[in-house]
Amino acid sequence: MTGHGFTDPSRQSAQGFRVLMDAMARPGTIHRLDQAHAPGVGPAAATVLLLLADPTTPVHLAGALPGLAPWLRFHAGCPMADAPSAALAVGRWPDLLPLDRFAVGLPDYPDRSATLIVELDRLDADGPVLRGPGIRDRATLSLPATAPFRVNRALFPMGLDFILTCGDRLACLPRSTRVEAA
* pLDDT tens digits for range 85-114: 999 999 999 999 999 999 999 999 999 999
At residue 62, what are phi and psi to the nearest 5 degrees?
A: -95, 125
Residue 181's pLDDT is: 83
Could you tell me if residue 24 is inside a domain? yes
**pLDDT exceeds cutoff 80 at 1:** no
Could you tell me if residue 67 is inside a domain? yes
Could you tell me if residue 162 is inside a domain? yes
Boundaries of domain holding 45 = 13-176
Could you tell me if residue 1 is inside a domain? no
pLDDT digits (tens, 9 = 90+) for 109-130: 999 999 999 999 999 999 999 9
Could you tell me if residue 103 is inside a domain? yes
pLDDT digits (tens, 9 = 90+) for 20-72: 999 999 999 999 999 999 999 999 999 999 999 999 999 999 999 999 999 99
Could you tell me if residue 74 is inside a domain? yes
Could you tell me if residue 22 is inside a domain? yes
Residue 2's pLDDT is: 65
CATH number, domain at 164?
3.40.50.11310
Could you tell me if residue 113 is inside a domain? yes
Residue 182's pLDDT is: 73
Residue 87's pLDDT is: 98
- Which phi-psi region, left, alpha or beta, contains residue 127 (left: φ > 0; alpha: ψ -120 to 50)? left
How big is the chain, counted in residues? 182
**pLDDT exceeds cutoff 80 at 160:** yes
Does this model's pTM top 0.85?
yes
What's the domain count of the chain? Answer: 1
